[in-house]
Amino acid sequence: MIKLMDKWRITNHLLKHSSKLLFDRRLSANSHNSVFRSALECSESLVKRGFGNASTIRYRCFGSEATKFERNAAFSTLNSEDVSYFKELLGEKSVIQDEDVLLAANEDWMRKYRGSSKLLLQPRTTNEVSQILKYCNSRLLAVVPQGGNTGLVGGSVPVFDEVIINMGSMNNLITFDKGSGVLVCEAGCILENLVSFVDDHGFIMPLDLGAKGSCQIGGNVSTNAGGLRLVRYGSLHGNILGLEAVLANGDVIDMLGTLRKDNTGYDLKHLFIGSEGSLGIVTKVSIHTPPKLSSVNLAFLACKDYFSCQVLTYLEGVRNPFSSSMHNFYVLIETTGSEESYDREKLEAFLLSSMEGGLISDGVIAQDINQASSFWRIREGIAEALMKAGAVYKYDLSLPVEKMYDLVEKMRQRLGETAKVIGYGHLGDGNLHLNISAPRYDDMVISVA
């Protein structure tokens, strides 16, 4: 356990070294500026109208519209000595130079970004991660940490020839306390495996996302993944009790507490949650899991306009505007509770009165787990479907709930016929996944937008 003075020393250390950290800022040709400008405009108009808490909206300064950038010459190039060193350190099996494997690891899930890394490492212990980073630091070799490689915005793949440090081999479940529901595991554990494990003991993971079959908990933590349960169980900042991470120079920082309440020293783990690997590689995670409630009800609802959706501030929003059915908006609501018939009655009463009040135009309640899974498949499969539909530009935005859809409409106005604008996301969290679907990737779409 790190004492107070140590924590302070490490914070200093982090801040001093962050500029030297082997870190890639991704500014791709698909610049996000136009969208953020629109988001800013929305916020602007809010401020102008003096709309409630809008005056507390801060403006962020986004990077310049750089469309090209070059490999930093300060980083070294991999040579055969490096490869031998790694082979000796990790063993032949954990050092991968196989072209096919590298091809997959160099490319992101969306198939938009491709790096040119020549080496993939699969450490099995924190010590190995530490040794790798220490060596790369001394040799000035750039690295990129990689988990399940399910990210949709190109953060998990190399930009140039960085060494890929894949955490997939560190997939041990360390401990699980059945009384408190605290799970300690290594960063490479696949989320769905964790879900099944805690399920057997009557608990659930506080986060759930469509990528659960492949995404790893270390990646979830590093990106502060939200997911489908955030509105009920809160963000990872609340659920992660501790972390173990390795800094860029190889130092291991042990913040792996398992206590619900721990106010000793500085709560450094929060810096790592959402830091996207820029401060260090997360190697172990301690997470609090809520108890599994037996009654789950799921309703799929259709609404005429966005205003009606908002009022159903339950869990999340689903929108599929270009569907051929009559409805403009779809909302998927899941409730969990301890008594099925009571919960079902409550949900039905709420939904029926909403229908009478005109908030919902139509809806369906899942009658068994299979139906529930098929509804979830629709919502979780949106990203997949968009990928199959052609080229997609994705933006993940947090907005005030009442303004969530304005951005979609504005983009629609700007793009006209050139592309379809799809908005879906998490209604309860105010999180919009703005997607622009075009037949193929086209700079013109970006310039218009």
Question: Applying CB under 8 A, which residues contact another protein?
Answer: 294-296, 299-301, 340-341, 348, 351-352, 355, 360, 362-371, 373
Q: Least separation, in Å, of the C-beta of 342 and another protein?
A: 12
Q: Which is nearer to another protein, 90 or 372 (CB)?
A: 372
Least CB distance to another protein at residue 248 (A):
40
Residue 18: DSSP 8-state: G
CB of 312 to another protein, least distance (A): 13
Pick 182 or 366: Cβ nearer another protein: 366
Find tokens 């106005």 and name the residue: 413
The nearest distance, CB 356 to another protein, in angstroms, is 9
Closest to another protein by CB, 97 vs 354, is 354
b vs e for 188-222, b when ≥16 Cβ sit within 10 Å of the residue's Cβ?
bbbbebbbebbeeeebbbbbbbbbbeebbbbbbbb
Closest to another protein by CB, 276 or 362:
362
Nearer to another protein, 29 or 364 (CB): 364
For residue 55, the Cα-to-chain-centroid distance in whole angstroms is 28
Q: How far is the CB of 296 from another protein (least distance, A)?
A: 8
For residue 340, the Cα-to-chain-centroid distance in whole angstroms is 31
Structure tokens at 281: 């590689």
Q: Closest approach of Cβ 370 to another protein, in Å?
A: 6
Q: Look up residue 283 and give its DSSP letter.
A: E
Return the SS3 of 388. Answer: helix
Strand order from edge to edge, sheet including 95-96: 95-96, 120-121, 163-166, 143-146
Q: How far is the CB of 260 from another protein (least distance, A)?
A: 26
Q: In the complex, what is the shortest distance from the CB of residue 193 to another protein, in angstroms, rounded to a whole number? A: 15
Distance CA 415, CA 420 (A): 8
CB of 326 to another protein, least distance (A): 14
**Residue number, 136 or 351, with CB nearest to another protein:** 351
Enter the tokens of residue 329: 């908006």
**Distance from C-alpha of 351 to C-alpha of 163, rounded to nearest angstrom:** 53
Residue 374 CB, shortest distance to another protein, in Å, is: 9
Distance between CA atoms of residues 221 and 194, nearest Å: 14
Strands (E), 267-357: 281-288, 295-303, 316-318, 329-337
**Residue 165 or 360 with smaller CB distance to another protein:** 360
The residue length of the chain stands at: 449
Q: Between residues 284 and 379, which has the closer beta carbon with respect to another protein?
A: 379
Distance CA 208, CA 130 (A): 30
Which H or E run contains 433? strand 431-438
Beta carbons of 301 and 325 less than 8 angstroms apart: no
- 88 vs 348, beta carbon nearer another protein: 348
Other C-beta atoms lying within 10 Å of the C-beta of residue 181: 20
Which of residues 57 and 293 has its CB atom nearest to another protein in the complex?
293
Would you call 53 exposed, middle or buried from its count of C-beta atoms within 10 A (0-12, 13-18, 19+)?
Answer: exposed
CA–CA dist 256, 250 (Å, integer): 17
